[in-house]
Structure 1
Protein backbone atom coordinates (compact mmCIF):
# COMPACT_ATOMS: atom_id res chain seq x y z
CA UNK A 1 0.00 0.00 0.00
CA UNK A 2 1.27 3.47 -0.83
CA UNK A 3 0.80 6.60 1.27
CA UNK A 4 1.60 9.84 -0.51
CA UNK A 5 3.13 12.57 1.65
CA UNK A 6 2.14 16.18 1.11
CA UNK A 7 5.31 16.76 -0.94
CA UNK A 8 4.56 13.80 -3.22
CA UNK A 9 7.02 11.27 -1.75
CA UNK A 10 5.55 7.76 -1.68
CA UNK A 11 5.70 5.83 1.59
CA UNK A 12 5.18 2.10 2.02
CA UNK A 13 2.51 1.19 4.57
CA UNK A 14 0.54 -1.88 5.59
CA UNK A 15 -2.46 -2.46 7.83
CA UNK A 16 -3.03 -5.86 9.42
CA UNK A 17 -5.41 -7.32 11.97
CA UNK A 18 -9.13 -7.09 12.44
CA UNK A 19 -11.60 -4.28 12.80
CA UNK A 20 -11.12 -1.31 15.06
CA UNK A 21 -8.68 1.54 15.39
CA UNK A 22 -5.14 0.33 14.72
CA UNK A 23 -1.98 0.91 16.70
CA UNK A 24 0.40 2.83 14.41
CA UNK A 25 4.00 1.62 14.71
CA UNK A 26 7.05 3.86 14.26
CA UNK A 27 10.23 1.91 13.59
CA UNK A 28 13.70 2.69 14.84
CA UNK A 29 16.76 4.00 13.10
CA UNK A 30 16.95 6.59 11.82
CA UNK A 31 17.76 5.36 8.34
CA UNK A 32 16.26 1.89 8.82
CA UNK A 33 12.88 0.39 7.93
CA UNK A 34 9.93 -1.36 9.56
CA UNK A 35 11.09 -4.58 11.25
CA UNK A 36 7.89 -5.15 13.22
CA UNK A 37 6.73 -8.37 11.52
CA UNK A 38 7.27 -10.37 14.73
CA UNK A 39 5.52 -7.71 16.80
CA UNK A 40 2.53 -7.50 14.45
CA UNK A 41 2.11 -11.28 14.68
CA UNK A 42 2.47 -11.17 18.48
CA UNK A 43 -0.31 -8.57 18.74
CA UNK A 44 -2.57 -10.14 16.11
CA UNK A 45 -5.34 -10.91 18.62
CA UNK A 46 -4.71 -7.79 20.71
CA UNK A 47 -4.98 -4.91 18.22
CA UNK A 48 -4.79 -4.23 14.50
CA UNK A 49 -1.59 -2.43 13.53
CA UNK A 50 -0.34 -0.08 10.85
CA UNK A 51 3.30 -0.44 9.81
CA UNK A 52 5.17 1.96 7.53
CA UNK A 53 8.65 2.72 6.24
CA UNK A 54 9.94 6.21 6.83
CA UNK A 55 10.89 8.31 3.82
CA UNK A 56 13.93 7.30 1.84
CA UNK A 57 14.14 4.01 3.73
CA UNK A 58 13.16 0.39 3.15
CA UNK A 59 10.24 0.00 0.76
CA UNK A 60 9.45 3.71 0.65
CA UNK A 61 10.50 5.88 -2.26
CA UNK A 62 14.16 6.86 -2.40
CA UNK A 63 14.38 10.63 -2.15
CA UNK A 64 16.67 13.48 -1.15
CA UNK A 65 14.93 14.12 2.15
CA UNK A 66 14.55 16.55 3.69
CA UNK A 67 15.93 14.72 6.72
CA UNK A 68 14.32 16.65 9.57
CA UNK A 69 12.08 15.57 12.43
CA UNK A 70 9.46 18.11 11.25
CA UNK A 71 9.36 16.38 7.85
CA UNK A 72 9.02 12.95 9.45
CA UNK A 73 6.24 14.23 11.72
CA UNK A 74 4.44 15.45 8.59
CA UNK A 75 4.92 12.04 6.97
CA UNK A 76 3.43 10.33 10.01
CA UNK A 77 0.47 12.67 9.75
CA UNK A 78 0.06 11.60 6.11
CA UNK A 79 -0.14 7.99 7.34
CA UNK A 80 -2.82 8.99 9.84
CA UNK A 81 -4.89 10.72 7.16
CA UNK A 82 -4.48 7.86 4.69
CA UNK A 83 -6.02 5.39 7.14
CA UNK A 84 -8.81 7.78 8.08
CA UNK A 85 -7.81 8.18 11.72
CA UNK A 86 -9.04 11.27 13.53
CA UNK A 87 -6.82 10.33 16.46
CA UNK A 88 -4.31 7.49 16.63
CA UNK A 89 -2.52 5.41 19.20
CA UNK A 90 1.21 5.32 18.51
CA UNK A 91 3.95 2.86 19.42
CA UNK A 92 7.47 4.09 18.76
CA UNK A 93 10.64 2.08 19.25
CA UNK A 94 14.10 3.61 19.81
CA UNK A 95 14.40 6.50 17.32
CA UNK A 96 10.73 5.80 16.54
CA UNK A 97 9.92 6.56 20.20
CA UNK A 98 11.47 10.00 19.67
CA UNK A 99 9.43 10.43 16.49
CA UNK A 100 6.22 9.38 18.25
CA UNK A 101 6.90 11.84 21.08
CA UNK A 102 7.70 14.61 18.59
CA UNK A 103 4.42 13.93 16.80
CA UNK A 104 2.44 13.97 20.05
CA UNK A 105 4.03 17.29 21.04
CA UNK A 106 3.22 18.78 17.62
CA UNK A 107 -0.32 17.34 17.34
CA UNK A 108 -1.59 16.32 20.79
CA UNK A 109 -5.19 16.47 19.59
CA UNK A 110 -4.43 13.75 17.01
CA UNK A 111 -2.92 11.23 19.46
CA UNK A 112 -5.01 9.10 21.82
CA UNK A 113 -1.99 7.48 23.52
CA UNK A 114 1.73 6.86 23.03
CA UNK A 115 3.72 3.72 23.85
CA UNK A 116 7.33 4.82 24.17
CA UNK A 117 9.57 1.74 23.84
CA UNK A 118 13.35 1.70 24.41
CA UNK A 119 13.79 5.40 23.80
CA UNK A 120 16.66 7.58 25.04
CA UNK A 121 14.75 10.33 26.84
CA UNK A 122 14.68 14.06 26.25
CA UNK A 123 18.10 15.02 27.58
CA UNK A 124 21.29 15.58 25.56
CA UNK A 125 23.08 12.65 23.94
CA UNK A 126 25.68 12.85 26.71
CA UNK A 127 23.08 11.30 29.01
CA UNK A 128 23.24 7.97 27.20
CA UNK A 129 25.66 7.76 24.27
CA UNK A 130 28.95 7.27 26.19
CA UNK A 131 27.38 4.48 28.26
CA UNK A 132 25.90 2.94 25.13
CA UNK A 133 29.27 2.84 23.36
CA UNK A 134 30.97 1.27 26.37
CA UNK A 135 28.23 -1.32 26.82
CA UNK A 136 28.13 -2.09 23.09
CA UNK A 137 31.81 -3.05 22.96
CA UNK A 138 31.61 -4.98 26.23
CA UNK A 139 28.64 -7.02 25.07
CA UNK A 140 30.10 -7.70 21.63
CA UNK A 141 33.30 -8.83 23.35
CA UNK A 142 31.30 -11.67 24.95
CA UNK A 143 31.92 -13.36 21.59
CA UNK A 144 35.45 -12.29 20.57
CA UNK A 145 35.07 -13.64 17.06
CA UNK A 146 32.07 -11.37 16.48
CA UNK A 147 33.94 -8.35 17.82
CA UNK A 148 36.96 -9.11 15.62
CA UNK A 149 34.81 -9.51 12.51
CA UNK A 150 32.81 -6.35 13.29
CA UNK A 151 36.05 -4.37 13.66
CA UNK A 152 37.38 -5.86 10.43
CA UNK A 153 34.26 -4.88 8.50
CA UNK A 154 34.10 -1.45 10.16
CA UNK A 155 37.62 -0.72 8.94
CA UNK A 156 36.63 -1.16 5.28
CA UNK A 157 35.84 2.19 3.64
CA UNK A 158 33.79 0.78 0.75
CA UNK A 159 31.83 -2.28 1.83
CA UNK A 160 29.88 -4.55 -0.49
CA UNK A 161 26.16 -5.01 0.04
CA UNK A 162 26.78 -8.40 1.68
CA UNK A 163 29.51 -6.98 3.92
CA UNK A 164 27.28 -4.08 4.97
CA UNK A 165 24.53 -6.52 5.89
CA UNK A 166 26.93 -8.75 7.82
CA UNK A 167 28.26 -5.77 9.77
CA UNK A 168 24.72 -4.65 10.62
CA UNK A 169 23.75 -8.12 11.87
CA UNK A 170 26.82 -8.23 14.10
CA UNK A 171 26.04 -4.71 15.34
CA UNK A 172 22.42 -5.55 16.11
CA UNK A 173 23.29 -8.84 17.82
CA UNK A 174 24.20 -6.98 21.02
CA UNK A 175 20.55 -5.92 21.45
CA UNK A 176 19.28 -9.39 22.48
CA UNK A 177 19.55 -11.03 25.87
CA UNK A 178 20.21 -14.55 24.58
CA UNK A 179 23.77 -13.83 23.52
CA UNK A 180 24.45 -17.26 22.05
CA UNK A 181 21.41 -17.14 19.74
CA UNK A 182 21.47 -13.38 19.10
CA UNK A 183 22.60 -13.70 15.48
CA UNK A 184 19.28 -15.38 14.66
CA UNK A 185 16.93 -12.49 15.54
CA UNK A 186 19.50 -9.97 14.31
CA UNK A 187 19.53 -11.79 10.99
CA UNK A 188 15.73 -11.60 10.78
CA UNK A 189 16.01 -7.82 11.16
CA UNK A 190 18.17 -7.78 8.02
CA UNK A 191 15.80 -9.94 5.93
CA UNK A 192 14.99 -8.51 3.50
CA UNK A 193 17.99 -6.20 3.36
CA UNK A 194 17.26 -2.70 2.09
CA UNK A 195 20.47 -0.98 3.14
CA UNK A 196 20.87 1.71 5.78
CA UNK A 197 20.17 5.27 4.64
CA UNK A 198 23.28 6.80 6.22
CA UNK A 199 22.53 10.32 5.02
CA UNK A 200 19.14 10.23 6.73
CA UNK A 201 20.62 8.76 9.91
CA UNK A 202 23.43 11.28 10.09
CA UNK A 203 21.19 14.29 9.55
CA UNK A 204 18.57 13.28 12.12
CA UNK A 205 21.20 12.31 14.70
CA UNK A 206 22.87 15.70 14.22
CA UNK A 207 19.52 17.46 14.59
CA UNK A 208 18.86 15.65 17.88
CA UNK A 209 22.28 16.65 19.20
CA UNK A 210 21.48 20.31 18.43
CA UNK A 211 17.91 20.47 19.65
CA UNK A 212 17.28 17.81 22.32
CA UNK A 213 17.74 18.50 26.00
CA UNK A 214 16.48 22.08 25.97
CA UNK A 215 14.35 23.70 28.69
CA UNK A 216 11.67 24.28 26.02
CA UNK A 217 11.43 20.54 25.33
CA UNK A 218 11.07 19.73 29.02
CA UNK A 219 8.37 22.39 29.35
CA UNK A 220 6.49 21.04 26.32
CA UNK A 221 6.50 17.54 27.84
CA UNK A 222 5.15 18.91 31.12
CA UNK A 223 2.20 20.37 29.20
CA UNK A 224 1.47 17.21 27.17
CA UNK A 225 -2.01 15.88 27.89
CA UNK A 226 -1.51 12.59 26.00
CA UNK A 227 -1.25 9.43 28.17
CA UNK A 228 2.14 7.80 27.71
CA UNK A 229 3.25 4.26 28.53
CA UNK A 230 7.05 4.01 28.78
CA UNK A 231 8.41 0.49 28.27
CA UNK A 232 12.02 -0.31 29.12
CA UNK A 233 14.03 -3.49 28.92
CA UNK A 234 16.19 -3.74 32.04
CA UNK A 235 19.15 -4.95 29.97
CA UNK A 236 19.07 -2.33 27.22
CA UNK A 237 22.66 -1.21 26.66
CA UNK A 238 21.45 2.41 26.45
CA UNK A 239 21.38 3.62 30.06
CA UNK A 240 17.76 3.64 31.19
CA UNK A 241 18.53 6.56 33.48
CA UNK A 242 18.42 8.75 30.36
CA UNK A 243 14.65 8.26 30.28
CA UNK A 244 14.15 9.43 33.88
CA UNK A 245 13.76 13.10 32.98
CA UNK A 246 11.10 12.27 30.38
CA UNK A 247 9.15 10.17 32.87
CA UNK A 248 9.41 12.96 35.45
CA UNK A 249 8.23 15.60 32.96
CA UNK A 250 5.13 13.88 31.62
CA UNK A 251 1.91 14.52 33.56
CA UNK A 252 0.11 11.33 32.41
CA UNK A 253 2.68 8.54 32.39
CA UNK A 254 3.15 4.96 33.47
CA UNK A 255 6.58 3.30 33.27
CA UNK A 256 7.13 -0.45 33.09
CA UNK A 257 10.51 -2.19 33.02
CA UNK A 258 10.63 -5.76 31.74
CA UNK A 259 13.35 -7.48 33.77
CA UNK A 260 14.32 -10.12 31.19
CA UNK A 261 14.47 -7.85 28.14
CA UNK A 262 16.92 -5.63 26.31
CA UNK A 263 16.39 -3.15 23.49
CA UNK A 264 13.89 -5.38 21.66
CA UNK A 265 11.54 -6.38 24.50
CA UNK A 266 8.96 -8.10 22.29
CA UNK A 267 11.73 -10.48 21.12
CA UNK A 268 13.39 -11.13 24.49
CA UNK A 269 10.15 -11.38 26.49
CA UNK A 270 7.30 -11.83 24.00
CA UNK A 271 4.75 -13.01 26.55
CA UNK A 272 5.56 -10.22 28.98
CA UNK A 273 5.39 -7.59 26.24
CA UNK A 274 2.19 -9.01 24.80
CA UNK A 275 0.55 -9.15 28.24
CA UNK A 276 1.55 -5.54 28.90
CA UNK A 277 0.13 -4.32 25.58
CA UNK A 278 -2.98 -6.46 26.03
CA UNK A 279 -3.68 -4.91 29.44
CA UNK A 280 -3.03 -1.45 28.03
CA UNK A 281 -5.44 -2.03 25.14
CA UNK A 282 -8.00 -3.55 27.51
CA UNK A 283 -7.82 -0.45 29.69
CA UNK A 284 -8.80 1.71 26.75
CA UNK A 285 -5.20 2.53 25.87
CA UNK A 286 -4.79 4.69 28.92
CA UNK A 287 -1.63 4.95 31.01
CA UNK A 288 -2.48 7.08 34.02
CA UNK A 289 0.14 8.21 36.48
Structure 2
Protein backbone atom coordinates (compact mmCIF):
# COMPACT_ATOMS: atom_id res chain seq x y z
CA UNK A 1 0.00 0.00 0.00
CA UNK A 2 1.14 3.51 -0.75
CA UNK A 3 2.27 5.40 2.33
CA UNK A 4 1.75 9.11 2.93
CA UNK A 5 4.12 11.33 4.80
CA UNK A 6 3.11 13.64 7.63
CA UNK A 7 3.55 16.52 5.19
CA UNK A 8 0.55 15.50 3.07
CA UNK A 9 -1.56 18.67 2.94
CA UNK A 10 -4.73 16.90 4.08
CA UNK A 11 -3.06 15.66 7.25
CA UNK A 12 -4.48 18.05 9.82
CA UNK A 13 -3.08 16.30 12.87
CA UNK A 14 -2.12 19.53 14.60
CA UNK A 15 -5.72 20.81 14.27
CA UNK A 16 -7.69 17.62 14.79
CA UNK A 17 -9.92 17.35 17.82
CA UNK A 18 -12.03 14.56 19.26
CA UNK A 19 -15.11 14.60 21.47
CA UNK A 20 -17.44 12.00 22.91
CA UNK A 21 -21.12 12.92 22.67
CA UNK A 22 -23.79 10.49 23.85
CA UNK A 23 -21.32 7.63 23.60
CA UNK A 24 -20.16 8.38 20.06
CA UNK A 25 -16.73 9.73 19.12
CA UNK A 26 -16.54 12.60 16.66
CA UNK A 27 -13.24 13.70 15.15
CA UNK A 28 -13.25 17.16 13.67
CA UNK A 29 -11.55 20.46 12.90
CA UNK A 30 -13.08 23.71 14.14
CA UNK A 31 -11.48 26.90 12.82
CA UNK A 32 -13.26 28.89 15.51
CA UNK A 33 -13.67 31.96 13.35
CA UNK A 34 -16.38 34.50 14.10
CA UNK A 35 -17.99 34.36 10.64
CA UNK A 36 -21.09 32.32 9.76
CA UNK A 37 -20.65 28.64 10.61
CA UNK A 38 -20.42 25.95 7.94
CA UNK A 39 -20.43 22.24 8.86
CA UNK A 40 -18.82 19.88 6.33
CA UNK A 41 -19.46 16.11 6.31
CA UNK A 42 -17.73 13.56 4.04
CA UNK A 43 -19.09 10.63 2.07
CA UNK A 44 -18.21 6.94 2.34
CA UNK A 45 -14.47 7.21 1.73
CA UNK A 46 -12.67 9.77 3.81
CA UNK A 47 -12.41 11.57 7.08
CA UNK A 48 -13.15 15.24 7.70
CA UNK A 49 -9.65 15.93 6.37
CA UNK A 50 -10.92 15.62 2.78
CA UNK A 51 -12.15 19.20 3.27
CA UNK A 52 -8.64 20.55 3.85
CA UNK A 53 -8.99 22.93 0.90
CA UNK A 54 -12.16 24.45 2.34
CA UNK A 55 -10.58 24.76 5.78
CA UNK A 56 -7.57 26.50 4.27
CA UNK A 57 -9.48 28.81 1.94
CA UNK A 58 -12.51 29.72 4.06
CA UNK A 59 -11.46 29.10 7.65
CA UNK A 60 -10.62 32.71 8.41
CA UNK A 61 -13.93 34.03 7.06
CA UNK A 62 -16.24 31.33 8.39
CA UNK A 63 -16.35 29.02 11.36
CA UNK A 64 -15.59 25.86 9.41
CA UNK A 65 -16.34 22.66 11.29
CA UNK A 66 -15.37 19.59 9.26
CA UNK A 67 -16.40 16.41 11.06
CA UNK A 68 -15.93 12.65 10.79
CA UNK A 69 -19.15 11.02 11.96
CA UNK A 70 -19.14 7.73 13.90
CA UNK A 71 -19.65 4.28 12.38
CA UNK A 72 -23.30 3.86 13.32
CA UNK A 73 -25.27 0.86 12.10
CA UNK A 74 -28.05 2.88 10.49
CA UNK A 75 -28.38 6.34 8.92
CA UNK A 76 -31.06 7.13 11.52
CA UNK A 77 -28.50 6.57 14.26
CA UNK A 78 -25.99 8.83 12.52
CA UNK A 79 -28.65 11.50 12.13
CA UNK A 80 -29.54 11.37 15.83
CA UNK A 81 -25.86 11.46 16.83
CA UNK A 82 -25.28 14.45 14.56
CA UNK A 83 -28.03 16.47 16.22
CA UNK A 84 -26.35 15.90 19.58
CA UNK A 85 -22.95 16.84 18.12
CA UNK A 86 -24.33 20.09 16.68
CA UNK A 87 -25.89 21.05 19.98
CA UNK A 88 -22.75 20.12 21.90
CA UNK A 89 -20.65 22.48 19.76
CA UNK A 90 -23.40 25.13 19.72
CA UNK A 91 -23.69 24.98 15.93
CA UNK A 92 -27.45 25.46 15.68
CA UNK A 93 -28.19 27.74 12.75
CA UNK A 94 -25.13 26.70 10.73
CA UNK A 95 -25.10 25.90 7.02
CA UNK A 96 -24.74 22.11 6.89
CA UNK A 97 -23.09 20.52 3.87
CA UNK A 98 -23.13 16.78 3.23
CA UNK A 99 -21.32 14.86 0.53
CA UNK A 100 -22.69 11.60 -0.93
CA UNK A 101 -23.71 9.36 2.00
CA UNK A 102 -23.81 12.38 4.33
CA UNK A 103 -26.15 14.09 1.84
CA UNK A 104 -28.44 11.10 2.30
CA UNK A 105 -28.64 10.95 6.09
CA UNK A 106 -28.81 14.74 6.38
CA UNK A 107 -32.24 14.48 4.76
CA UNK A 108 -33.31 12.55 7.85
CA UNK A 109 -31.89 15.27 10.08
CA UNK A 110 -33.59 18.05 8.15
CA UNK A 111 -36.94 16.25 8.21
CA UNK A 112 -36.87 15.51 11.95
CA UNK A 113 -35.26 18.79 13.06
CA UNK A 114 -36.19 21.50 10.55
CA UNK A 115 -34.94 24.32 12.80
CA UNK A 116 -31.50 22.83 13.50
CA UNK A 117 -29.72 24.47 10.54
CA UNK A 118 -30.30 27.63 8.56
CA UNK A 119 -29.76 25.69 5.34
CA UNK A 120 -28.49 22.50 3.74
CA UNK A 121 -26.34 21.70 0.74
CA UNK A 122 -26.84 18.14 -0.47
CA UNK A 123 -23.79 17.37 -2.59
CA UNK A 124 -23.48 14.42 -5.00
CA UNK A 125 -26.43 12.83 -3.26
CA UNK A 126 -28.84 9.98 -3.88
CA UNK A 127 -32.34 9.05 -2.73
CA UNK A 128 -31.84 5.31 -2.25
CA UNK A 129 -29.25 2.58 -2.53
CA UNK A 130 -30.52 1.32 -5.88
CA UNK A 131 -28.97 4.41 -7.48
CA UNK A 132 -25.43 3.21 -6.75
CA UNK A 133 -25.61 -0.58 -6.39
CA UNK A 134 -24.78 -1.15 -10.07
CA UNK A 135 -21.34 0.38 -9.53
CA UNK A 136 -18.89 -2.48 -8.85
CA UNK A 137 -17.48 -0.84 -5.72
CA UNK A 138 -20.97 -0.58 -4.26
CA UNK A 139 -22.18 -4.05 -5.21
CA UNK A 140 -24.06 -6.06 -2.61
CA UNK A 141 -21.71 -9.00 -3.19
CA UNK A 142 -18.65 -6.92 -2.30
CA UNK A 143 -20.18 -5.11 0.67
CA UNK A 144 -21.22 -8.46 2.17
CA UNK A 145 -17.52 -9.33 2.55
CA UNK A 146 -15.33 -8.70 5.59
CA UNK A 147 -14.20 -5.12 6.14
CA UNK A 148 -10.58 -5.87 5.23
CA UNK A 149 -11.61 -7.41 1.90
CA UNK A 150 -13.76 -4.40 1.06
CA UNK A 151 -10.98 -2.00 1.94
CA UNK A 152 -8.43 -3.98 -0.08
CA UNK A 153 -10.75 -4.13 -3.11
CA UNK A 154 -11.30 -0.38 -3.00
CA UNK A 155 -7.56 0.20 -2.57
CA UNK A 156 -6.75 -1.97 -5.58
CA UNK A 157 -9.35 -0.17 -7.70
CA UNK A 158 -8.04 3.29 -6.76
CA UNK A 159 -4.46 2.17 -7.38
CA UNK A 160 -5.37 1.68 -11.05
CA UNK A 161 -6.37 5.33 -11.40
CA UNK A 162 -4.01 7.86 -12.92
CA UNK A 163 -1.74 9.75 -10.55
CA UNK A 164 -3.58 12.64 -8.94
CA UNK A 165 -4.04 14.38 -5.63
CA UNK A 166 -7.39 12.66 -5.16
CA UNK A 167 -5.84 9.25 -5.83
CA UNK A 168 -3.12 9.91 -3.23
CA UNK A 169 -5.69 11.02 -0.68
CA UNK A 170 -7.92 8.02 -1.24
CA UNK A 171 -5.01 5.58 -1.03
CA UNK A 172 -4.04 7.23 2.23
CA UNK A 173 -7.55 6.85 3.63
CA UNK A 174 -7.87 3.28 2.36
CA UNK A 175 -4.40 2.48 3.66
CA UNK A 176 -5.58 2.84 7.23
CA UNK A 177 -6.20 6.51 7.96
CA UNK A 178 -9.90 5.63 7.72
CA UNK A 179 -10.55 2.32 9.53
CA UNK A 180 -11.87 -0.52 7.37
CA UNK A 181 -14.76 -1.02 9.80
CA UNK A 182 -15.92 2.56 9.23
CA UNK A 183 -15.78 2.14 5.46
CA UNK A 184 -17.86 -1.04 5.62
CA UNK A 185 -20.48 0.45 7.92
CA UNK A 186 -20.95 3.43 5.62
CA UNK A 187 -21.13 1.32 2.48
CA UNK A 188 -23.67 -1.02 4.04
CA UNK A 189 -25.81 2.00 4.89
CA UNK A 190 -25.42 3.40 1.36
CA UNK A 191 -26.56 0.28 -0.50
CA UNK A 192 -29.38 -0.27 1.96
CA UNK A 193 -30.61 3.32 1.83
CA UNK A 194 -34.37 3.76 1.45
CA UNK A 195 -36.29 6.78 0.20
CA UNK A 196 -36.62 9.53 2.77
CA UNK A 197 -39.92 11.34 3.29
CA UNK A 198 -40.18 14.56 1.29
CA UNK A 199 -38.68 17.42 3.27
CA UNK A 200 -40.96 20.15 4.59
CA UNK A 201 -38.18 22.74 4.58
CA UNK A 202 -38.67 25.92 2.58
CA UNK A 203 -37.06 25.51 -0.85
CA UNK A 204 -34.83 28.56 -0.32
CA UNK A 205 -33.04 26.70 2.48
CA UNK A 206 -31.94 23.82 0.23
CA UNK A 207 -29.19 23.66 -2.39
CA UNK A 208 -28.66 20.54 -4.48
CA UNK A 209 -25.13 20.43 -5.84
CA UNK A 210 -23.93 17.79 -8.30
CA UNK A 211 -21.30 17.33 -10.99
CA UNK A 212 -21.81 16.62 -14.68
CA UNK A 213 -18.88 14.19 -14.67
CA UNK A 214 -19.78 12.22 -11.52
CA UNK A 215 -18.70 8.61 -12.24
CA UNK A 216 -20.86 7.14 -9.46
CA UNK A 217 -24.16 9.02 -9.57
CA UNK A 218 -25.60 8.78 -13.09
CA UNK A 219 -27.34 11.62 -14.89
CA UNK A 220 -30.70 9.93 -14.34
CA UNK A 221 -29.99 9.46 -10.65
CA UNK A 222 -28.85 13.07 -10.27
CA UNK A 223 -32.05 14.32 -11.90
CA UNK A 224 -34.18 12.04 -9.72
CA UNK A 225 -32.43 13.30 -6.62
CA UNK A 226 -32.95 16.95 -7.56
CA UNK A 227 -36.65 16.35 -8.20
CA UNK A 228 -37.05 15.43 -4.56
CA UNK A 229 -36.64 19.13 -3.74
CA UNK A 230 -38.97 21.15 -5.97
CA UNK A 231 -38.09 24.84 -6.00
CA UNK A 232 -34.69 24.32 -4.41
CA UNK A 233 -31.57 25.77 -6.01
CA UNK A 234 -29.75 23.21 -8.13
CA UNK A 235 -26.13 23.80 -9.06
CA UNK A 236 -24.42 21.43 -11.48
CA UNK A 237 -20.66 21.88 -11.69
CA UNK A 238 -19.11 21.04 -15.05
CA UNK A 239 -16.35 19.10 -13.34
CA UNK A 240 -15.55 17.69 -9.94
CA UNK A 241 -16.51 14.03 -10.28
CA UNK A 242 -17.78 12.65 -6.99
CA UNK A 243 -15.37 14.82 -5.00
CA UNK A 244 -15.74 18.46 -6.10
CA UNK A 245 -14.35 19.69 -2.78
CA UNK A 246 -11.05 18.17 -3.92
CA UNK A 247 -11.24 18.31 -7.73
CA UNK A 248 -12.95 21.67 -8.23
CA UNK A 249 -12.47 23.54 -4.95
CA UNK A 250 -12.80 27.04 -6.38
CA UNK A 251 -16.32 26.40 -7.68
CA UNK A 252 -17.23 24.35 -4.61
CA UNK A 253 -16.05 27.06 -2.24
CA UNK A 254 -17.97 29.68 -4.20
CA UNK A 255 -21.18 27.72 -3.67
CA UNK A 256 -20.46 27.50 0.06
CA UNK A 257 -19.83 31.20 0.40
CA UNK A 258 -22.88 32.16 -1.65
CA UNK A 259 -25.07 29.85 0.46
CA UNK A 260 -23.65 30.82 3.83
Q: TM-score range by the shorter chain?
A: 0.7 to 0.9
Answering whether residue 208 of structure 2 is matched by residue 194 of structure 1, we say no
Question: Per-residue CA shift, 1:232-268, capped at 9, x if unaligned?
Answer: 1211112032132332232441111111221111222
Task: Give the structure 2 partner of residue 146 of structure 1.
Answer: none
Q: Between Structure 1 and Structure 2, whose CA radius of gyration is higher?
A: 1
Q: Give the conservation status (yes or no) of the 8 Å contact 1:27–1:94.
A: yes
Query: Which stretches in structure 1 are left out of the alignment for 5+ residues?
Result: 57-64, 137-153, 282-289
Distance, in Å, in 2 between the alignment partners of 1:158 and 1:106 is: 33
Distance, in Å, in 2 between the alignment partners of 1:192 and 1:159 is: 12
Distance, in Å, in 2 between the alignment partners of 1:115 and 1:29 is: 17
Task: Give the structure 2 partner of residue 114 of structure 1.
Answer: 120
TM-score, normalisation: structure 1: 0.68
Distance, in Å, in 2 between the alignment partners of 1:232 and 1:173 is: 25
TM-score, normalisation: structure 2: 0.75
> Cα–Cα, structure 1 residues 45 and 27, in superposed 2: closer, same or farther, change >3 Å?
same
Runs of 4+ in structure 1 deviating by more than 4 angstroms, as ranges, are 157-160, 163-167, 188-192
What is the alpha-carbon root mean square deviation over aligned residues?
3.2
Distance, in Å, in 2 between the alignment partners of 1:10 and 1:158 is: 23
Question: Per-residue CA shift, 1:119-172, capped at 9, x if unaligned?
Answer: 12x2x4334432x349x9xxxxxxxxxxxxxxxxx9xx8898xx9866544434
Structure 1 position 206, deviation (Å): 5.4
- Map 1:44-123; keep pairs closer than 5 Å: 44-56=59-71, 65=72, 67-120=73-126, 122=127
Q: Give the conservation status (yes or no) of the 8 Å contact 1:173–1:183.
A: yes
Match of 1:25 among 40, 47, 51: 40
Query: For this pair of structures, how many residues does the alignment match?
Result: 234
**Helix, strand or coil for the counterpart of 1:28?**
coil
Task: Give the structure 1 partner of residue 58 of structure 2.
Answer: 43
Structure 1 position 274, deviation (Å): 2.0
> Cα–Cα, structure 1 residues 251 and 112, in superposed 2: closer, same or farther, change >3 Å?
farther
